[in-house]
Amino acid sequence: MYAGQRVRRVDAFDKVTGRARYTDDLCDRGAYVARILHATVANGRVVSIDTSEAEKVPGVIRILTCFDLKEKHYFPTAGHPWSTDPSHQDVADRLILTDRVRFYGDDVAAVVAEDEVAAAQALKLIRVEYEAYPFVLDVQKAMADGAPQLHEKYPNNILKHTQIRLGDYEKAIREPGLTKVEGWYETPVVQHCHIENFICYAEAEGDRIKVVTSTQIPHIVRRVVGQALGIDWGRVRVIKPYVGGGFGNKQDILYEPLCAWLSLQVGGHLVKLDVPREETFVCNRTRHSIRNHIVSWVRPDGTYAARKLESFSDQGAYASHGHSICAKGAGAFPQLYPCDNVEVDAYTVFTNKPVAGAMRGYGIPQAMWAVECHTEDVCASIGADPVAFRRKNLMPVGYVDGFSKNEMYFDSFNQCLDKAMAAIDYEGKYREYQNQTGDVRRGIGVAVFWYNTAVWPISLESSSCRMVLNQDGSFQVQLAETEIGQGADTAFAQMAADVVGVPLEKVHVVSCQDTDVTPFGTSAYASRQTYIAGFSIRQTGLLLKERILDYAHKLTRMPVFNLDIVDGNIVRTTDGRVLMSLAALAEEALYSLTDSRHIAAESTYQIKSNAYSFGCTIAEVEVDIPLCKVKLLNIVNCHDAGKLINPALAEAQVHGGMSMGIGFGMSEKLMFDEKTGRPLNNNLLDYKLPTMLDHPRLVAEFVENPEPTSAFGTKGLGEPPACSPAPAIRNAILHATGVGVKTAPANPHNLFRAFTEAGLIHDERQVPPCTT
């Protein structure tokens, strides 16, 4: 069995030797280079564009502006499965280039040149006249009557408002003896910061267009490029080489339609669009800033009588993934701590900021920031022990969600808490750090999370797999599920080897995907791939095995029910004798003069189940109160992601998620100028991504309860590690200082405000206003 083993990544050798080819490494050097001209107003209209000086730059091939877009095909960008039901389709509000500018950085023109220098020089010489409109950067202000409107169809800029109503909140809060705890909790705009920026190149092939792109979702890119160009989807071919990280940003259609269109405007010539880091921050996607308002009514026995959540999600200028993200976070609220009387109102609101889309956790990191900061505030208000309170109120064993049919099969939360607490000596430190005084204090804090693997029943879940047997008994595995760094290909190889019964090295997972060849599927998002691909790998592997054994029957005259494939050999199960090698069978099958067959299998499995993934973080901090600085001393995550297919890669993936959660909780924030809407820190120097020096040792622990619905007992782990570190760190700071920040990140700026308001530090100067 390979599932469950710490086998080495199938792509590790190529990645440590530089052989792994990413998009830019594959692009022919004869490519034209494209650059985009971005708007310098936050809201308005392009009145005119003068390209005459720019055209004179030697090496410029063509300059195309929003006014050159003759056919306006509005397209959606979310990396969601297409819905044949128009009411479930994503909002189609983007154009390849736009004259109606909705954020500082919107795409108004593009230069195609012979090289980067000519393209950059030409960009500087293009003169754009704008009619600037008033703009709005804040969700509450955008919802107010009279606010600048971004899209005609959405009054008060509300893209969508959804509600959840359980029991009777108004009646429940009249119960005598309740304590009311209320707070506003806010998360900042952050960015994915995969180290490979978004890049793609395009060229015509016959009457088709080929796009090679750094994407998580090749088949969805094919569909949307077709929609954006107004051509049949089969005329688009999308290729995905190795990808240098995605984290949800590349679960969106970014500039593939523009690049394809530019190529077609220059006669189908090869055009490369390599997006600089500064533009990746602003003109790709960001994580929604969400402002959550929570009211809890707590009984004297430490249980919830009634709860209310209002969630306001900052969509930025275009719909992208839209309300799904806010809705996912809001949907977690009544499930994580079930309560009979709940009111949830979730709003997704347009503002004149960069477009928010999917980012690792899909609304859950924001929701867990709010819910787990609030849980700690409740504990502080009623004097409850943070762990005991959670254990008492968390989703109990046997809980079933009526919509997804997801079930809490095991005592996962208590098991995860127990393991994490033991790993970090929680009890001892919690006691030790009570009631400290002095400038430098320590604290320890906990936070839990809830995460849904995959997207059923909200959207389609299906996976297709193809296995093709080679002469030597090895076989290729092709899936639409996408390797973007997580280790998916390795997990797929392990599962396929087990199902068919061959040594791991006999499985070749085709990492580079090509929509002309790769089976259809929707790819990398929702922490779905190992869970979802498991079904089609098992089904297709069994089909391949059936065909192999059928041929083995012809060659050996043994009945199929007495045959099996073990370690790459055809084995008679009755006595364990090896009858022949799979290699010998495969060679005979291909070259037989009497019965030649190319043995292969392909199948689609539609998945109509889903699984909860759970876990927690415990963080220990040291806070220098006068400096408003926090040092993270220790941190542990514990997860129940079902059975781990590869514990080494699972551990590594948890480290990465923890790191992202640490940045989210302590340092990262994309800032904007209130006067212009211009981004202020869209580079890796001013945007504070954690470095190796900012991390303590990261500890990843697991509880491996086998997920009953899964083909391999496994469930989602990609996003979960990023969901709970930020509130755990915040709660540790609260434990250390008695001050709980409400706005992430807990950086010196926010801590200065919070410590000043709490009277921990005194400064005669006025507290500076918080930037948006």
List of residues contacting other proteins (CB under 8 A): 6, 8-9, 11-18, 20-22, 24-25, 29, 117, 121, 192-197, 242-245, 247, 274, 276-277, 484-487, 648-649, 651-653, 655-660, 662, 683-685, 689, 691-695, 697-698
239 forms beta bridges with 212, 514
Query: Closer to other proteins at the Cβ: 552 or 722?
Result: 722
For 528-558, the DSSP string reads -HHHHHHHHHHHHHHHHHHHHHHHHHHHH--
For residue 392, the minimal CB distance to other proteins (Å) is 32
Angle at which helices 529-556 and 488-500 cross, to 10°: 30
Query: Closer to other proteins at the Cβ: 49 or 698?
Result: 698
- Report helix, strand or coil for 138: coil
Query: Closer to other proteins at the Cβ: 278 or 401?
Result: 278
The CA distance from 477 to 479, in Å, is: 7
Query: Closer to other proteins at the Cβ: 194 or 429?
Result: 194
Asked whether 18 and 208 are in contact (CB, 8 A), the reply is no
Query: Closer to other proteins at the Cβ: 7 or 298?
Result: 7
Query: Closer to other proteins at the Cβ: 16 or 578?
Result: 16
Return all residues near 639 (Cβ < 8 A) that are at least 6 apart: 416, 613, 614, 615, 654, 700, 701, 702, 703, 717, 720, 721
**Six-digit token pair at 58?**
């030697």
For residue 281, the minimal CB distance to other proteins (Å) is 11
- Report helix, strand or coil for 391: helix
Query: Closer to other proteins at the Cβ: 42 or 254?
Result: 254
For residue 415, the minimal CB distance to other proteins (Å) is 23
Nearest of 274, 276, 264 to residue 214 by alpha carbon: 274
For residue 689, the minimal CB distance to other proteins (Å) is 6
- Report helix, strand or coil for 30: coil
For residue 326, the minimal CB distance to other proteins (Å) is 24
For residue 274, the minimal CB distance to other proteins (Å) is 8
Asked whether 630 and 736 are in contact (CB, 8 A), the reply is no
Asked whether 250 and 525 are in contact (CB, 8 A), the reply is no
For residue 58, the minimal CB distance to other proteins (Å) is 9
**Six-digit token pair at 533?**
């691909």
For 685-730, the DSSP string reads TTS----GGG---EEEEE--PPPTTSSSSB---SSGGGTSHHHHHH
Query: Closer to other proteins at the Cβ: 83 or 683?
Result: 683
Number of helical H runs and strand E runs in the chain: 20, 29
For residue 489, the minimal CB distance to other proteins (Å) is 12
Query: Closer to other proteins at the Cβ: 393 or 659?
Result: 659
Query: Closer to other proteins at the Cβ: 196 or 377?
Result: 196
Asked whether 178 and 305 are in contact (CB, 8 A), the reply is yes
Query: Closer to other proteins at the Cβ: 264 or 684?
Result: 684
For 247-269, the DSSP string reads TTTTSB--SHHHHHHHHHHTTT-
For residue 722, the minimal CB distance to other proteins (Å) is 10
Nearest of 219, 661, 275 to residue 463 by alpha carbon: 219
Identity (one letter) of the amino acid at 162?
Answer: T
Asked whether 346 and 313 are in contact (CB, 8 A), the reply is yes
For residue 732, the minimal CB distance to other proteins (Å) is 18
Query: Closer to other proteins at the Cβ: 194 or 328?
Result: 194
User: How many Cα atoms occupy the beta-carbon half-sphere of 531 within 13 Å?
Assistant: 30
For residue 691, the minimal CB distance to other proteins (Å) is 4
91 forms beta bridges with none
- 221, with CB counted inside 10 A (0-12, 13-18, 19+), is buried
Asked whether 468 and 541 are in contact (CB, 8 A), the reply is no
Query: Closer to other proteins at the Cβ: 404 or 667?
Result: 667
Query: Closer to other proteins at the Cβ: 16 or 767?
Result: 16
**Six-digit token pair at 656?**
């990465």
For residue 695, the minimal CB distance to other proteins (Å) is 6
For residue 632, the minimal CB distance to other proteins (Å) is 12
Angle at which helices 364-382 and 324-336 cross, to 10°: 30
- Report helix, strand or coil for 60: strand
CA-derived radius of gyration, the chain: 27
For residue 699, the minimal CB distance to other proteins (Å) is 9
Q: How far apart are the first and last CA of the chain?
A: 52
Identity (one letter) of the amino acid at 439?
Answer: D
